[in-house]
Structure 1
Amino acid sequence: MSASDTPGGRWTDLDRPPLNSAALRKALIRPGGLWTALDVVSATGSTNTDLAAEAARGAVEGAVLVAEEQTAGRGRLDRSWTAPARSGLFFSVLLRPGDRVPATRWAWLPLLAGVATATALSRAAGVDTALKWPNDLLLTVAGEERKSGGILAERAGEAVVLGVGLNVSLRADELPVPTAGSLALANAVSLDRDPLLRAVLRSLEEWYGRWRDAAGDPAASGLQEAYAAGCATLGRTVRAELPGGREVVGEAVAVDGDGRLVIATAAGAREPVAAGDIVHLRAASAGE
């Protein structure tokens, strides 16, 4: 029995009940399905780190690890991610695209996770989730877009560990920075984490299946079109800060077949920028 199945104890915040791992496993693990194991732990440093270790030991595709609290949660470039216990969804999944998808197309996995999560939240929480390339989830709070979640994909040998962090019930005084948001602050119709997690994992299974069946082709699977439709970055003037102090400023006009953001500069060039090369992507005024 996992810690989240045990009544009483530290689970005293009635507004933030623990996840029911037994019910989640019953709902999500089925013969022929993607999800093969699901564990909920009360706390850990990083679900991505833990699942990467499992991958190194030969864990099969479809393992899901959920933490009620992460003490060393990481975003891209090892940026920290913290939130109170049971205030969000913090989980990682183990995927093995293997021979069916060339490794050159694995860069689409964090974008795929963004599309899947946004689709699920629209259905289950009644909120419009926008995507900021390459890995942020944005919700509208008080009329402005705020980062409310993030995605981290990491290679683990021949596997990929895909982590998702989503603020669910955080109040304004609990936000890590004033520009952050949560489902609660975006007036979501539901803050019940069990159905929200089920919805996200089912959507992820659906999109991953399409992408894998299309050999990772983002156009044939519909992923490239879906991402572009939900990407708030496109059509805006941005400044991409690259290693070595180089910057690219211009309008974000497309996400290409390799998952790179294409920036049209004032000089007329169209420069693709890969997620792995970028340090920061910021909004820029059109005059810069």
Structure 2
Amino acid sequence: MTDAPGASGRWSDLERPPLDARALRRALIRPGGLWSSLDVVEATGSTNTDLAARAAAGAAEGAVLIAEEQTAGRGRLDRRWSAPARSGIFFSALFRPGREVPAERLGWLPLLTGVAVATGLARAAGVDTALKWPNDLLVTVDGAERKAGGILAERVAASGGGAGDAVVVGVGVNVSLRADELPVPTAGSLALANAVSLDRDTLLRAVLRALEQWYGTWTASGGDPAASGLQETYAAGCATLGRRVRAELPGGRELLGEAVAVDGDGRLVVATDDGERHPVGAGDVVHVRGV
């Protein structure tokens, strides 16, 4: 666990100082708040995997696990990625919506996280972050959209199931990656998007505070995306809507059309050329061109 600067070798890259876990706890953990614990580890394979294990063992809602480096980070469709140590914000958070949110509305939790991350980064980094349905975070680099981060949500069944079931949501954002460090040429980072701040402590505080606020509003409305304002806010920040898209569906099927809405279940609605509307809840969506 990382608690304070000063450990041997941790300042080897002065442009990428370590996180201050004690300061983050003081800023984020408070009586009556969502966040119940916050740990920072030097390196791990996947914060989602580690926190899911804690959730299965009964960890409280609001646990946050942050890694300075992830060596086997996971995205949707079991994609793998990694980044240099201390070059981004990599964390997972544990939620237990319980009886407050019906199971059919839990699909909104990763979309809610996207809205919160975009909100936090806009405030702390001065970077406009768009959302690509369902889980990608986009920034603009040299006039082009680039993926700078992603979100992965996973259900964790508690012993005995029922209301104790949990959702672990993982977030990864490229912060200080330089062009020669990008995993693929089409990726991006906050640095390449000319962020006004690359201070990861500041970014994490802003993102986690926005996530706490949105989660509280959403659960208070019973997970209703319309009543909580989540559906409208997500649509306003979603770069996929109004675009020509190709949805690569399970079973090798494809759907080509215009993304016209995100429905009440968080699914992307694609209008095909024959006038039919198809809700897409799973698969990969590719932006083909602007409409």
- What SS class does the counterpart of residue 205 from structure 1 fall into? helix
Q: What is the deviation of 1:119?
A: 0.6
| Alpha-carbon separation, structure 1, partners of 2:127 and 2:77 | 28
- What SS class does the counterpart of residue 16 from structure 1 fall into? coil
Matched, 1:229 2:233: no
Count of residue pairs the alignment pairs up: 283
Matched, 1:258 2:257: no
Q: What is the deviation of 1:5?
A: 2.0
Q: What is the deviation of 1:285?
A: 5.0
| Alpha-carbon separation, structure 1, partners of 2:71 and 2:221 | 37
Give 1:48's aligned amino acid.
Answer: N
**1:7 corresponds to which residue?**
6
Indicate the larger mover: 236-245 or 183-192: 236-245
Matched, 1:150 2:157: no
CA distance change for structure 1 residues 286 and 127 in 2, over 3 Å: closer, same or farther?
closer
**1:28 corresponds to which residue?**
28
Indicate the larger mover: 4-13 or 260-269: 4-13
CA distance change for structure 1 residues 203 and 60 in 2, over 3 Å: closer, same or farther?
same
| Alpha-carbon separation, structure 1, partners of 2:167 and 2:251 | 28
Q: TM-score, normalised by structure 1?
A: 0.96
**1:17 corresponds to which residue?**
17
**1:283 corresponds to which residue?**
287
- What SS class does the counterpart of residue 137 from structure 1 fall into? strand
**1:128 corresponds to which residue?**
128
**1:196 corresponds to which residue?**
203
- What SS class does the counterpart of residue 225 from structure 2 fall into? coil
Task: Give the alignment's Cα RMSD to 1 decimal.
Answer: 1.1
CA distance change for structure 1 residues 204 and 286 in 2, over 3 Å: closer, same or farther?
closer
Show the 5 A alignment for 1:205-220. Answer: 205-220=212-227
**1:165 corresponds to which residue?**
172
Give 1:283's aligned amino acid.
Answer: H
Q: Could you list the per-position Cα deviations for residues 209-229 of structure 1 after superposition, in whole angstroms to 9, with x for gaps in the alignment? A: 000000000000000000000
Contact 2:2 2:39 in 1 (8 A): no
Q: Which runs of 5+ in 2 are unaligned?
A: 158-164
| Alpha-carbon separation, structure 2, partners of 1:286 and 1:37 | 43
Contact 1:44 1:69 in 2 (8 A): yes
Q: What is the deviation of 1:78?
A: 1.1
Q: What is the deviation of 1:283?
A: 2.1
Give structure 1 regions of 4+ aligned residues with deviation exceeding 6 angstroms. Answer: none
| Alpha-carbon separation, structure 1, partners of 2:219 and 2:88 | 29
- What SS class does the counterpart of residue 3 from structure 1 fall into? coil
**1:37 corresponds to which residue?**
37
| Alpha-carbon separation, structure 1, partners of 2:57 and 2:267 | 32
Contact 2:47 2:70 in 1 (8 A): yes
- What SS class does the counterpart of residue 153 from structure 1 fall into? strand
Contact 1:249 1:284 in 2 (8 A): no
**1:78 corresponds to which residue?**
78
Give 1:9's aligned amino acid.
Answer: S
- What SS class does the counterpart of residue 168 from structure 2 fall into? strand
Q: Could you list the per-position Cα deviations for residues 205-255 of structure 1 after superposition, in whole angstroms to 9, with x for gaps in the alignment? A: 000000000000000000000000000000000010112221111000000
Give 1:220's aligned amino acid.
Answer: A
| Alpha-carbon separation, structure 2, partners of 1:18 and 1:284 | 39
| Alpha-carbon separation, structure 2, partners of 1:266 and 1:227 | 25
Q: TM-score, normalised by structure 2?
A: 0.95
Q: What is the deviation of 1:9?
A: 1.4
| Alpha-carbon separation, structure 1, partners of 2:36 and 2:213 | 15
| Alpha-carbon separation, structure 1, partners of 2:58 and 2:110 | 22
| Alpha-carbon separation, structure 1, partners of 2:288 and 2:127 | 27
Contact 1:4 1:42 in 2 (8 A): no
Q: Which runs of 5+ in 1 are unaligned?
A: none
- What SS class does the counterpart of residue 77 from structure 2 fall into? helix
Give 2:287's aligned amino acid.
Answer: A
Contact 1:238 1:284 in 2 (8 A): yes
| Alpha-carbon separation, structure 2, partners of 1:229 and 1:154 | 25
